[in-house]
Chains A and B, each alone.
Chain A
Amino acid sequence: MSSGKKTVPFQGTKEQEEQLQKVIAAHKGEKGALMPVLQQAQEIYGYLPVEVQRMISEGMQIPMSKICGVVTFYSFYSLYPKGKYKISVCLGTACYVKGSNQVYEKLQQVLGIGGGECTPDGKFSLEACRCVGACGLAPVMMINDDVHGRLSPDSVEEILAKYE
């Protein structure tokens, strides 16, 4: 199943690969080792791109399909790196009631990515979160450490434009 999603170009370093190969060597042949290896790989790279999945598949002799099944099942695993600007839209009760869902959808539309993904230029990544403790400003989103409140879908583009 090709998702047709745009991916961020892989920029792994030699050092990261060496680290990963050590992890693989430590767990090779061990039963049920795939998830801890994926977890450590994610710690090394920050996410689990196809290139990293391939290294694990080759090294541990586990089919790519199985790795894909695991990484797309558990929400803990991320297939995308965090962007330069990490957007978290609150879908907690108060924000949701105030229409944060539409804000979230609008962001997806404007950025051309889904939740959990990152724009191919690596600039913005998008995710949903649960309550940032600013319910009085609902609906709320955070871009890195900035809190943006009282949002409407129409205000989204203007805010994004501030982030170069």
Chain B
Amino acid sequence: MIHLKIDGIPVEVEKDTTILQAARQIGVEIPTLCHLEHLLPNGSCRLCLVEVTNNGRTKLVTSCTMPCTEGDEVQTMSEEVVESRKGILDLLLSDHRADCFSCGANGDCRLQEYCFEYGVEMTSYEGEVNDECVDDSNKFFTYDQSKCILCHRCVNTCHQIVGRGAIDTLNRGFKSVIGAHYDYDWDQGTCESCGNCVQACPTGALTSKRRKKYRSWQVEKKVLTTCPHCATGCQYYLIVKDGKIVDTEAYDGPSNKGLLCVKGRSGSFDFVHSPDRIRYPLIKNKETGRFERASWDEALDLVASKFMAIKKEYGPDSLAGFACSRSPNEDVYMVQKMVRTCFGTNNTDNCARVCHSASVAGLAMTLGSGAMTNPIGDITQNSELIMLVGSNPEEAHPVVGMQIRQALRRGCKLIVADPRDIGLAKKADIHLKLRPGTNVAFANGIMHVIIEEGLQDERFIAERTEGYEKIKEIVKDYTPEKVAEICHIDAEDLKRAAIMYAKAETAPIIYCLGVTEHSTGTEGVMSMSNMAMLVGKFGRPGCGVNPLRGQNNVQGACDMGALPTDFPGYQKVTAPGVVEKFEKAWGVPLNHEPGTHATDIFPKAINKEVRGLYIYGEDPVVTDPDTTHVIKALESLDFFVIQELFMTETAQYADVILPGVSYAEKEGTFSNTERRVQRVRKAVTLEGEMRLDTDIIIDLMNRMGYKQPHLTSAQIMDEIASVTPSFAGISHARLDSGEVGGRGLQWPCLDKDHPGTPIMHVGRFTRGLGWFYPAEYVPPAELPDDEYPIILMTGRILYHYTTRAMTGRTPELMEIEGKSFIEMNIEDAQKLGIADGDRVKVSSRRGSIESTARVGTKTSPGETWMPFHFPDGNANWLTNAALDKYARIPEYKVCAIKIEKA
């Protein structure tokens, strides 16, 4: 340890601690403009100068770069230090256009603050201001060279924290400027518009265009909440002015570490104030087919009486209700409670059915718990190697993607198994460009090599698993050569990947929908846990099997029991005593039979087994496979109610629409992909006669004859905790407390003093012994043939979130990416006479759409890829509703199509 004094205060620090860090440790503030926490010091702004005396010598040094030395006497505010800082500020102002009145950063500018603090009013070195460059090309922000102090915080953020490297300092000396390239503007480079550089800028050089609508002192409040897009669970502030959200600001949350992506920062609140919001109940006039405004009493009475009439005539299982995985836990809990207590059925589900139900089912079968085993930070910080399978986090979970890029910078190895040349594939040590739908063969091949090489963890297998002999027998046949043929990869690459993965001390498997969305999705998931068990990579930091969940609260929607087979906390309907427990808690008799999965409800609607459907905030017409079939099902229903923010494609088929409420207008919690329960807080008040979703549901419950008292969101969470052992220690009060400190709680959290569980399966699997599932490779349900010779995969892009109901209402996002496209290989394109940018007709056995071709080599020959966000060519008219036998998840990732020039 090193001992020094800062402003006379004795400090003891570890070796290599800088003077700045030491000062911050004891709460002595030293001004900085260029310093970024956790990165190597930049030392460019010089403002952190301090006076250090040691061995009779006194000198001025930059405290951010200077390590502490034994016996240092540091003065942070001596006369000379203050004079020097004044001089530095004076020089910084010499070429700074100080038009503070009109500057977007006015009142929120560190240069301004320090000049004020040190009494620097104007520069004494008046001279040229470099204002050749104002780059306004980015949709969300502007760079103005005349305000830039070249602190490089933006550049360091982009290169070292975000890991994108879209901008750098160009030119030299006085001509230095921040930009993408001398040859093109900011928007023509690789910038993802995440805006983390803008938040890092200490002056008005990089300002958000949103800043034109508010000044920092007009901010009424900043509300800390959780992003409503993917399940990374980024923490951020919603910035409110005059009762409206005008901007966002990243918060240093446990999973996002102060970062946001473009959707979170810029596409997460325009929709809240959209004029398209549904603001009052609507009932469809049967004669005209038009929706007409109704009073709450009218609408709720109609909904309750219709559902009860159907129940009376056709029985409880003729009703079903889907919850929304974008909504808070408390809302989801009430939806499933309504379905179970009032409808009297277990026909409840959520849209995890179509994304990660295979993970929930698969990992529950092999490990005992269907969730990500390790936290995000742990994966990216403690791993030696990352095995990324069927996941494109740079686009679908961008802030996880940024953290993976950080991991690569520090030397972490990467194996990518994905049919496309995703961004991370280029940075990977090995990219296995798998034929879509061959994950099980790939995993079995990896295991074959590991066993062949004798790299399996015998002790772990013996002590903690079962079923090894059987899987060993199965994978014997999966030689690298055979797997290479099935997967269209190189056998040597497979061998290298297997050995690298097995030999790495810590290596998480991170996977996503490329594994789950298959007719063999659950087996694909179990193959992931097979690989990890074989090499004992469980229950340790930087290991595990980690599904990146899709939606903000899809983990929570499953946790809350919006599943036909499970009550809250995965308490099985079929397990002895579970139904009885809930009958006692809820005070009514409940249905003892597991319900029907969402994907099976549609066929049942067509054959009239299901007649009444309540959907809370889902849009299956856009998101579910085989759109024609979904529409037919909705039209077959006797009575269909939807609670929604917007007139979605699905809402148009409803008999009654109840206005839904966005995440920014209510209290609650979301559970992110790493099982972290985090708070959602109300930022703006509801307009007009709109009501909280839980109040609507509770009113309905009472009208259907169940005595449900009105509860606040916090009270609902208390009820959840009382019936759900894994949530027993979670409450709003605790989440808001200093003890949790804005870091949420990761379930299982067994009591009020339980700290939560960052890493699962330590020492013992939830299931007891981990089970090697004997998975054999089975080809996808629909393979290409002469008529439909090409494989279509579907997925998501960076700029939009699923149905676009939210992101589509941020015009800038639509300008960046607003139309459907299909990625195809250049060989296929040439054969079909299609050029990049041509309009094409894409058809499958189920439908036909038009789209625009993007020709290249991102997909292999015979394979194509499409996003499903865009109504002008939604891939789900084509996709195949072939269902997985365990999880009933549809095969979005493989269907056969043909392409013609339109």
* A interface residues with partner B (beta carbon < 8 Å): 1-3, 5, 7, 50, 61-66, 68-69, 72-73, 75, 79
Contact = CB atoms under 8 A, between A and B. Distances in A.
B901 interface: no
Contact of A68 (B182, B186, B426): B182
Given A1-B182, A61-B427, A72-B182, A66 B171 contact: no
Contacts of B159: 63, 66
Q: Which 4 pairs of residues, A with B, have the shortest CB-CB distance?
A: A63-B165, A1-B179, A69-B168, A65-B168
Given A61-B426, A63-B159, A73-B172, A3 B165 contact: no
B169 to A, nearest CB: 5
B133 A63 contact: no
B161 to A, nearest CB: 14
A140 to B, nearest CB: 27
A60 to B, nearest CB: 11
B171 A63 contact: no
A47 to B, nearest CB: 14
B274 interface: no
B561 to A, nearest CB: 46
Given A1-B182, A2-B183, A2-B184, A68 B427 contact: no
Interface string B171-214: 11000011111111110111000000000000000000000000
Q: Which of B158, B159, B164, B170 has the most chain A CB within a 10 Å cutoff?
A: B170
Contacts of A1: 133, 135, 170, 177-182, 185-186
B61 to A, nearest CB: 26
B250 to A, nearest CB: 22
B483 to A, nearest CB: 27
A3 B182 contact: yes
Interface of B: 133, 135, 158-159, 164-172, 177-186, 188-190, 426-427
Contacts of B184: 2
A64 B158 CA distance: 13
A115 to B, nearest CB: 12
Given A1-B179, A2-B184, A50-B183, A63 B164 contact: yes
Given A1-B180, A69-B169, 4 more contacts: A1-B178, A1-B185, A61-B427, A63-B190
Contacts of A50: 181, 183
Given A1-B177, A64-B189, A65-B189, A72 B183 contact: no
Contacts of B183: 2-3, 7, 50, 68
B171 A73 contact: yes
Contacts of A73: 169, 171-172
Contacts of B167: 65
B170 A72 contact: yes
A8 to B, nearest CB: 13
A113 to B, nearest CB: 14
Contacts of A5: 182
Contacts of B172: 72-73, 75
B39 to A, nearest CB: 16
A72 B185 contact: no
A65 B181 CA distance: 5
Contacts of A7: 183
Nearest to A73: B172
Given A1-B185, A3-B183, A68 B168 contact: yes
A65 B158 CA distance: 11
A2 B168 contact: no
Contacts of B165: 62-63, 65-66
Contacts of A65: 158, 165-168, 170, 179-181, 189-190
A53 B600 CA distance: 54
A69 B190 CA distance: 15
18 contacts: A1-B178, A2-B183, A3-B182, A61-B426, A63-B168, A64-B180, A65-B165, A65-B168, A65-B170, A66-B159, A66-B168, A68-B180, A68-B183, A69-B168, A69-B169, A69-B170, A72-B172, A79-B182
B426 A2 contact: no
B447 to A, nearest CB: 29
Nearest to B169: A69
Nearest to A66: B168
Contact of B166 (A3, A61, A63, A75): A63
A157 B188 CA distance: 38
Contacts of B168: 63, 65-66, 68-69
A143 to B, nearest CB: 27
A68 B189 CA distance: 12
B166 to A, nearest CB: 6
Contacts of B182: 1-3, 5, 68, 72, 79
Contacts of B185: 1-2
A75 B171 CA distance: 10
Contacts of A66: 159, 165, 168
Q: Which of A62, A64, A66, A73 has the most chain B CB within a 10 Å cutoff?
A: A64
A68 B168 CA distance: 8
B204 to A, nearest CB: 18
A1 B179 CA distance: 5
Contact of B190 (A3, A64, A72, A75): A64
Nearest to A50: B183
A68 B170 contact: yes
A62 B181 CA distance: 13
Contacts of A61: 426-427
B47 to A, nearest CB: 23
A63 B189 CA distance: 10
A72 B180 contact: no
Contacts of B171: 72-73
Nearest to B143: A1
Contacts of A2: 182-185, 188
A97 B141 CA distance: 47
Contacts of A68: 168, 170, 179-183
Nearest to B170: A72
B183 to A, nearest CB: 5
Contacts of A72: 170-172, 182
B402 to A, nearest CB: 14
A66 B178 CA distance: 11
A7 B183 CA distance: 9
A149 B539 CA distance: 81
A42 B484 CA distance: 41
Q: Which of B165, B169, B172, B188 has the most chain A CB within a 10 Å cutoff?
A: B165
A53 to B, nearest CB: 8
Contacts of B158: 65
B883 to A, nearest CB: 40
Contacts of A63: 159, 164-166, 168, 190
Nearest to A58: B426
Nearest to B164: A63
Q: Which of B167, B168, B186, B189 has the most chain A CB within a 10 Å cutoff?
A: B168
Contacts of B133: 1
A163 B158 CA distance: 48
B805 to A, nearest CB: 34
Contacts of A75: 172
A28 to B, nearest CB: 12
B170 to A, nearest CB: 5
B885 to A, nearest CB: 42
B429 to A, nearest CB: 10
Contacts of B188: 2
B28 to A, nearest CB: 35
Nearest to A2: B185
A43 to B, nearest CB: 22
A65 B165 CA distance: 7
Q: Which of A62, A66, A72, A79 has the most chain B CB within a 10 Å cutoff?
A: A72
B426 A64 contact: no
A12 B397 CA distance: 40
Contacts of B164: 63
Nearest to A63: B165
A72 B170 CA distance: 6
A50 B183 CA distance: 8
